[in-house]
Amino acid sequence: MIATKNNDSIFLNILFNGVKNHSFPVNLNGKSFEDFKEGEIIYESGDESNFVYLVISGKVKIKENGVKKLQFRRDNEFFGEKEIIKNTQRTSSAMAEIDSTVYKISKPDFESLLKKVPAIKQNIIDFTNLTEDDFKENNEVVETPSMAKEEFSETAANENNNDQMLNETTEQKNEDKLPDYLKDLDEFEEIVHDDEIREAAVQLEQTDTFVEPDAPVEESFNELVVNDTFIESDFVYESQPEPETNSESIAEDSSGQEAEIDDKIIPIEDELESILEDKISLKNFNMILNQISANQNIDLTVQSILKNFLQLTGSDRGIIFIYDEKKAELIPEFNIGGKPEIPSIKISEGIAGKAALSKKLIFIPNPERDARYVGSFDNPFEFPAQNVIYLPLLDNQLDLQGFATLSFNEETLEDNFRRQLKIYSILAGESILLSKQLSLIESKKHLSVIGDVSKFLLGDIKSPMLTIKHYTSIISRFDIPEEIKRVITLLTMQANSVLDLLQSTSDFAEKRVNIKKSPNQLNDLLNNILDLLSEFVESKNIKLFKKFAQNCTVNIDARKFHVAVYELIKYASAELPSGGKIFFSTEFLGKEVQIRIYNEGKFQQPERFPLVSRGDLSLDIAEFFLKAMGANLNVAEKSNGGVIFIISIPVTSN
């Protein structure tokens, strides 16, 4: 094969998006081009990670250890960066799928590029599943100037001693300012929300056999009644009326034959059953579910949806659109690997518009050959994808909420994977609907407005959360491992927590006290609450730590107590900078127990103090329900700009 081996071919690579060639900090070497024949190994797992590879022409197949789905890199894409960034040997293998030409960037040059050209790091994050944390870990390795080992060791030792003395002095000053219960912060245990999900997913991946349900699935679904679930048992994904069957409504592939469009009407429960029976891992399913109730911010929700879709499909490029019902347009909201300017899409225009209008998943190899193709948005990527998935994101009522355009590395879309995408698309649509509605409520800061929309809170927003509960209920009916059942329980708790927040906001607006007290083991209750809240704070890149005293029994309404704690955590984290910390501790004081929430560090906008003005809705809601349960809330402003919430609750037994 013939490839253009010059500097221009290098700078066409997406690794250098936005980088001017005259500002390139390393020298390009024409000897770094290398040709590989079809089937030739480029590197193998266990090799030293010496190069990052730019694909000048051809196609390279990549197999990561422990990952079944293959990845492919084509013209103007790159590979081999992950192991260098993580400073490990090769954990993947690369082979030329066809005759290919690559350009090799040495490890020192690549590390120099990362250090001197910030745009390259961002391009890697956009193109791969690496995150900022991966780069931070790598940055901890500091290059040392060449000097005698003895001289360096002595210098480093002196610097370490100085740093240690400075840190100890600073820590001692900080501790002197803290009350006793906030000293020894290193005794706090960090809370991470996805440990159990990750462990369960890994164990499920390692399981060779799948246990079939004890009874036919159809029988268990027949037991469902309308009052118990939001989705009726005969719910179907496909929309009515049927799409037109003329040449404009059926996609053609590169050979001129009609592409397969799945028109079979399948109940959603049957689709779930087929996925489980085909031994498909629940890992990705759990990941999507876990995002649904996580964010009130529509931007964060859309980002989570797209990143999960890309991980599910093995794709490297994708775009999420939000549907504007008034304009009947798809508005581009978030993209990875897309063009800087992507126009809105009129419903029924192009392949994407047709898919949105018919509410059908459409997969087309070589979409440019399709008669309906519109170049500005039907393949809106910096480097056009060879195969594209057009996926409407519908809510449970089959109303269009958004749309996903995804590149796809494979040339065919298997039936079972098509069914998975349909289910995920509904979950994503429900997530967008929920975020839209919660964002609307979050923007209403005054109590009078909250009261006006209380019926809205209990109506429209309730539906998507009941849908989530329904899906998790269906999965829990299968005979699945205990680890997965635990995950499903957590997801159900997550859905319940959102419903409680909505109900409580309405109760507060109307000053309606609806408390149902019962004895609760405090530490167990707090662990469950913090498991749910940890994802909320982690979405803001804030860490949550806990340190509990001896367990005791308190007489409270567990669900209303969760609402109160959530509102306090939300307030405490509202203006913390990225990387901030929140500490959660308890102290047993005989007849009562004190729960303390301490915010470490200064707020970014200290001029908003005093905190105790009680004007914030979150504090008012928390105090309203704590007082109704017989608990007391005190708020103290820290001299360093932080805040401490102290909740005092009578103890019934210990």
Rounded distance between C-alpha atoms, residue 288 and residue 256, angstroms = 36
Please check whether residues 93 and 228 belong to one and the same domain.
no
Q: Pick the last residue of a domain from 126, 160, 177.
A: 177
Please check whether residues 52 and 71 belong to one and the same domain.
yes
Would you state the structure tokens that stand for residue 466, as one six-digit string? 């009941």
Please check whether residues 451 and 525 belong to one and the same domain.
no
Phi then psi for residue 565, to 5 deg, are -65, -40
Residue 48 lies in a domain: yes
Query: Structurally, how many domains does the chain consist of?
Result: 4
- Whether residue 241 has a cis bond before it, omega within 30° of 0: yes
Residue 626 lies in a domain: yes
Query: Which residue segment(s) compose the domain that 635 sits in?
Result: 518-650
Neighbours of 596 (CB within 10 A): 20
Residue 407 lies in a domain: yes
CATH number at residue 600: 3.30.565.10
Higher pLDDT among residues 168 and 611, named by residue: 168
Q: What is the pLDDT of residues 486-503, one digit of tens each?
A: 666 666 665 666 666 666
Rounded distance between C-alpha atoms, residue 603 and residue 575, angstroms = 6
Rounded distance between C-alpha atoms, residue 410 and residue 70, angstroms = 9
Please check whether residues 340 and 213 belong to one and the same domain.
yes
User: Which of 181-195, 476-490, 526-540, 554-568 is least confident?
Assistant: 181-195
Please check whether residues 41 and 150 belong to one and the same domain.
no
* Cβ-Cβ contacts under 8 Å for 218 (sequence gap 6 or more): none
Residue 93 lies in a domain: yes
Neighbours of 194 (CB within 10 A): 17
User: Which of 140-144, 385-389, 400-404, 549-553 is least confident?
Assistant: 140-144
Please check whether residues 350 and 477 belong to one and the same domain.
yes
Query: What is the CA angle 358-360-362, rounded to 5?
Result: 120
Please check whether residues 418 and 559 belong to one and the same domain.
no
Rounded distance between C-alpha atoms, residue 599 and residue 341, angstroms = 41
Q: Pick the last residue of a domain from 162, 177, 192.
A: 177
Please check whether residues 462 and 339 belong to one and the same domain.
yes
Please check whether residues 90 and 154 belong to one and the same domain.
no
Pair 51, 104: CB distance under 8 Å: yes
CATH number at residue 450: 3.30.450.40
Q: What is the pLDDT of residues 200-239, one digit of tens each?
A: 434 433 433 333 333 323 323 233 333 332 222 222 323 3
Rounded distance between C-alpha atoms, residue 254 and residue 586, angstroms = 66
Q: What is the pLDDT of residues 322-367, one digit of tens each?
A: 999 888 899 999 888 888 888 999 887 899 998 998 888 999 888 8
Residue 510 lies in a domain: no
Please check whether residues 280 and 151 belong to one and the same domain.
no
Rounded distance between C-alpha atoms, residue 105 and residue 54, angstroms = 8
CATH number at residue 18: 2.60.120.10
* Cβ-Cβ contacts under 8 Å for 53 (sequence gap 6 or more): 42, 60, 78, 79, 80, 94, 102, 103, 104, 105
Residue 196 lies in a domain: no
**How confident is residue 117, by pLDDT bands cut at 50, 70 and 90?**
confident
Q: Look at residues 328, 330, 306, 308 and name the one whose alpha carbon lies nearest to residue 319.
A: 306
Query: Long-range contacts made by residues 221-227, C-beta under 8 angstroms, separation at least 24?
Result: 221/267, 221/269, 221/474
* Cβ-Cβ contacts under 8 Å for 283 (sequence gap 6 or more): 201, 204, 205
Whole-number average pLDDT of the chain = 69
Rounded distance between C-alpha atoms, residue 183 and residue 187, angstroms = 9
For every residue of 30-58, DSSP letters joined together read GGGEEEE-TT-EEE-TTS---EEEEEEES
Residue 491 lies in a domain: no
Q: Look at residues 586, 594, 581, 593 and name the one whose alpha carbon lies nearest to residue 545.
A: 581
Rounded distance between C-alpha atoms, residue 497 and residue 500, angstroms = 5
Please check whether residues 481 and 527 belong to one and the same domain.
no
